[in-house]
Structure 1
Amino acid sequence: MKRFLSKLLEKVGDRVGVIFITGLSGVGKTSVLQRLGNEGYDVVDTDDHGYTKKIATGEGDEIVWDEEKISHLIERKKHPHLILSGCYSNQGKFYKSFDYVVLLEAGLDLMLDRVIKRKTNPYGKHPDERKAIIESFTHVLPKLRANADVVIDTSKVGISQTADRLKSLMILSHQVRI
């Protein structure tokens, strides 16, 4: 894999390919990011590292992307590839900055089972959070699907297959023959 990445670096120069992975809680965003990060890809889970902020809305507080920080992250040229993940109401403002918007999805029962069993993220264990996931499945998921370039059903493919599909998209984003 490292040989592949070094060859890719040689071919693409300063061009940065950016893939955005979105999806509701429990679809596998964190798991696939961890896999890609272990393989040497530059990955950022925007749930972490201070890329969000709380804003007041008419319906209460909402956590959204800090648009200045996300813009800076996308514009940097540290690596020839950047894979971001998250799911926030203002993410659509950045879709034109991404080579691909990839939606990970799964059935509701599987998602709820995954959030209960996961140890890396406490979100989804409280009844109010589970209710929010169910509501998002009905109201948010169709919007995410409508704006995605690629949809991957993680109930049908595992982490390694999902990572392979994302790596293929990264190659396409560079339009490079290796």
Structure 2
Amino acid sequence: MIIRSARRDDAPAVIPLLMEAIGSIAYLLTGASDEREAAAALADFYRQPGNRISSEHVLVAEQEGELAGMLVAYSGDDAHELDEPFRERLRKRWPELAGAIVREAQDGEYYLDALAVAESFRGQGIAKRLMAAAEERAAELGFDRTALIVEAYNDKAYRLYEASGYEEAGVLRIGDSDYRRMAKRLN
């Protein structure tokens, strides 16, 4: 298996995984009313630089010539700026939704925004390897901690993060859902 930086042409494989990882947040970010519209909008953002899901912020795991998983991560210091393209889209089309984007990342941390592994590759440690690669990148960039959020009901993901050294660090409300915020100190 190879872990590498994503390319723009990875979009057809990355976007379905991203949609699975972020769930209803896809609709809050894009203002889309259905899955197809949300996926198309996210694919456009993915191909453009300067936003939270730009390909430049994505690591992918490749196995057997297929994209097996992906992880979106970026500096929390840049979170407000990286969300601006989404706010701009909402201001143009649905002004009442422009304030709905919640800042998930905090200053001083490297934020793991989304993580998903393709169903046929699950149970092989790919998520852990993607997280380790993101943590390594965070350390190289001078960060001493990483953070993420997980849906309050997603105990399986919570246990994965806990086993990887993440500790609960509060609750964040996004839309109608609660998310557990988790953080990890890097050595």
Q: Which has the higher strand share?
A: 2
In terms of Rg, which structure is larger? 1
Q: TM-score, normalised by structure 2?
A: 0.29
Q: TM-score, normalised by structure 1?
A: 0.30
Larger RCO: Structure 1 or Structure 2 (Cα < 8 Å, ≥ 6 residues apart)?
1
